[in-house]
Amino acid sequence: MIKVEQISKSVKGNSPVANVAIETSILKEISFEIDRGDFVAVMGPSGSGKSTLLYSVSGMDQITAGRIVFDGVNLTEMNEESLAELRLNKMGFVFQNAQMLKNLSLFDNLILPGLVAKKEKPQVIRNRAQDLMKRMDIDGLGGRDIREVSGGQLQRASICRAMINNPEVLFLDEPTGALNSAATDQVLNILAALNDEGMTIMTVTHDPRVAVRAKKVIYLRDGEIAGEKELSTGPNREQELDDWLKCV
Amino acid sequence: MKLLLNLVRKDFNRNPAKAAIDFNNDDVEVYILYLSLAEGVDLDLKTNELRGVLPDIKVTPVPSFIAQTLGGIVDNLTRVEAAAMAIALLLSALVTVMFLKLVMAREHRDIAMKKAIGFTNRDIRIQLGIRLLVIQGLGILIGTVLANTLGEGIFSLMLSSMGATRMTLLIQPLKAYLICPAIQLLVVTITVIGGARVVKHYHIKEQIVE
Ligand SMILES: Nc1ncnc2c1ncn2[C@@H]1O[C@H](COP(=O)(O)OP(=O)(O)O)[C@@H](O)[C@H]1O
Ligand SMILES: [Mg+2]
């Protein structure tokens, strides 16, 4: 479904030492594939390029070399407006800090991408939002201000928002990075359930508890793939991941 | 002389005392008489006609009389008006740009997030534009009303140094309430459209990733 082919990204900047322009390589010739229904976790130390990879794959960050093919379309050749349309209709995004509009209620935040897409009647979108909120166990909170709910509730709400246009893939950047362990578990259960129903997921995380739910783990170091692992479905997967993370 | 007196009588007949002025050539140097023309009488034609019948008397239509006596002030005022207009438009543009910058600085995260979840640059520009235009439009409306009410007092205060002790602003409604605000709004609109283009260069990831 998504083919990442030899992508690299480098940025020009000034050297902190001497006053000369230098080119920093953030991603180096990365290739992998995400199949439909896949659950890919990208791990790696801070600054290894995980977020950059996620944003590049979803067409929000420009790459300097390589190709990203989404459903047979080459993202690198698309203009900004068509990329925005693609993100609106086929991709869902969840960020570390929910990123909602402060002047809208929780519910209005959720339905916003649906209203912008203008594909369906507002009532259809509202009903779907209600269903999603029920699933994520936050029904009844719709009227609240986004500052009046907990971090976990907000993050579950942002999964609802990401799902509002029935996307084909969910992209998440450290979705549990700001949550306590109970809230993390709730979010992870939701992601697992969505994936069981066929939702394709790519998440960035440094938390092995998140990664252990994935089908495939990619480990980045200094912008390069240091290792890639398919996790088995057995009960030993936790141990399996632990062992792999130690040697990767 | 006789004819002139008649004219005075005719025009000042609501105040008969005036007609009793002693028009003795030895006593005075000059008499200035103002004639009001009836509705529909052509000023130039009438002037010529009077010049014909009164060869010894200087007949001057009021507009050129004003131009001769108050020409300096009128010129200055015309220049002041043009300058005020230019400054007002520049200020509108400047305020719009600053306002736009303020909104974008305050909401850069929201804008980046909207772009991330699929708002096009156009969507965001339109939203910004509508907000700015509504606020600026209100500002222009209030400003127009204030200028056309309080403006006179302030203006005469400013101009008292130029020798005019009292100013009565004759407000041309079409210009004051329609054309000027419309031009201002146009300048604001152009500035908004131009200014909001920078949304395009917003880098989503840099704004969102901490
Ligand atoms: N636009 C940019 N300009 C310069 N450096 C950048 C830019 N984007 C990312 N980086 C650098 O690239 C590296 C990877 O960043 P990031 O993808 O956010 O890492 P991670 O999410 O793994 O912590 C970091 O060292 C960061 O400073
Ligand atoms: Mg990151």
Q: Does B47 contact A at CB distance below 8 Å?
A: no
> In this predicted structure, which of A4-8, A47-51, B47-51 has the lowest mean pLDDT?
B47-51
Nearest Cα residue to atom 27 of ligand 1 = A47
Q: Is residue B30 part of a domain?
A: yes
Residue where a domain terminates, one of B37, B59, B81: B59
Assigned domain for B78 exists: yes
Is there a domain that residue B127 lies in? yes
Query: Taking CB atoms and an 8 Å limit, are A51 and B123 in contact across chains?
Result: no
What CA dihedral angle connects A78, B126, A61 and A94, to 10 degrees?
-110
* Residue in chain B nearest A79 by alpha carbon: B120
**Do B93 and B177 share a domain, yes or no?**
yes
Task: List CB contacts (< 8 A) between B110 and chain A.
Answer: 101-102
Do B187 and B87 belong to one domain? yes
Per cent of chain A over pLDDT 90 is 86
Chain A closest-CA separation from residue B202 CA (Å): 11
Among B113, B123, B200, beta carbon nearest to A116:
B123
Domain assignment present for residue B50? The answer is yes
Ramachandran angles phi, psi of A17, nearest 5°: -90, -70
pLDDT class of B26 with cuts at 50, 70, 90: low
The answer as to whether B85 is a domain residue is yes
Same domain, B55 and B120: no
Q: Which atom of ligand 1 is found nearest the CA of B203?
A: 1
Whether chain A has a CB inside 8 Å of the CB on B121: the answer is yes
Q: Is the pLDDT confidence value at A193 over 90?
A: yes
What chain B residue is nearest to A53 in terms of C-alpha separation?
B205
Give the integer Cα–Cα distance in Å for B198 and B107.
14
Same domain, B164 and B202: yes
Enumerate residues 6+ apart whose C-beta is below 8 A from A183: A150, A151, A152, A155, A176
Kindly give the residue spans of alpha helices, DSSP state H, lying in chain B. Answer: 2-11, 43-53, 62-106, 108-116, 121-149, 151-159, 173, 180-195, 204-208
Q: How confident is the model at residue B204 (pLDDT cuts 50, 70, 90)?
A: confident
What is the DSSP secondary-structure string of chain A? -EEEEEEEEEEEEE-SSSS-EEEEEEEEEEEEEE-TT-EEEEE-STTSSHHHHHHHHTTSS--SEEEEEETTEEGGGS-HHHHHHHHHHHEEEE-SS----TTSBHHHHHHHHHHHH-SS-HHHHHHHHHHHHHHTT-TT-TTSBGGGS-HHHHHHHHHHHHHTT--SEEEEESTTTT--HHHHHHHHHHHHHHHHTT-EEEEE-S-HHHHTTSSEEEEEETTEEEEEEEPPSSTTHHHHHHHHHHH-
Residues in chain A closer than 8 A to B118 (CB atoms):
84-89, 91, 113, 116-117, 165
Rounded CA gap, A233 and A33, in Å?
Answer: 20
Give the pLDDT band (50/70/90) at residue B148.
confident
Mean pLDDT of the B24-28 span: 64
User: Is the minimum distance from the CB of A13 to ligand 1 under 6 angstroms?
Assistant: yes
Tokens of B59: 């007949």
Which has more confidence, B6 or A58? A58
In this structure, the answer to whether residues B94 and B27 fall within a common structural domain is no
| Average of per-residue pLDDT values in chain A | 93
Q: What ipTM was reported for this prediction?
A: 0.84
Distance CA B174, CA B182 (A): 11
Name residues with Cβ closer than 5 Å to ligand 2, which is an ion.
A 51
CA of A54 to the centre of ligand 2 (A): 9
- Summarised one tens digit per residue, pLDDT across range A147-159 is 999 999 999 999 9
Say if the Cβ atoms of A93 and B115 lie within 8 Å: no
Work out the average pLDDT over B105-113: 89
Q: What is the assigned CATH class of domain A2-247? A: alpha beta
Whether residues B87 and B181 share a domain: the answer is yes
* Domain assignment of residue B64, yes or no: no
Specify whether B122 is located in the same domain as B151. Answer: yes
Residues B126 and B199 in one domain: yes
Q: Which residues of B touch A80 (CB under 8 A)?
A: 120-121, 200
Tell me the pTM. 0.78
pLDDT score recorded for residue B18: 47
Residues of A in contact with B120 (CB under 8 A): 80-81, 84-85
Please tell me the number of the ligand nearest to residue A95's CA.
2
Using a pLDDT cut of 70, give the percent of chain A over it.
100
pLDDT of B21 > 60? The answer is no
Pocket test for ligand 1, best of A10, A14, A52, A55 (most atoms within 8 A of CB): A52
For residue A93, the chain B residues in CB contact (below 8 A) are: 116-117
pLDDT digits (tens, 9 = 90+) for B160-195: 776 666 667 777 888 888 888 899 889 988 998 888
Same domain, yes or no: B36 and B122: no
Interface contact flag, A161 B117, Cβ < 8 Å: yes
Domain with B27 in it:
1-59
For the stretch A197-232, pLDDT in tens is 999 999 999 999 999 999 999 999 999 999 999 998
Please tell me which residue, B24 or B121, carries the higher pLDDT value. Answer: B121
Q: Are residues B177 and B93 in the same domain?
A: yes
Q: Is A223 in the pocket of ligand 1 (CB under 6 A)?
A: no
- Is the confidence at residue B19, as pLDDT, over 70? no
- Residue B22 shares a structural domain with residue B95: no
Residue B15: is its pLDDT beyond 60? no
* Distance in Å, CA A48 to ligand 1 centroid: 7
What mean pLDDT is predicted for residues A88-115? Answer: 93
> Pick the residue with more confidence: B41 or B146?
B146
Is residue B14 domain-shared with residue B84, that is, in the same domain?
Answer: no
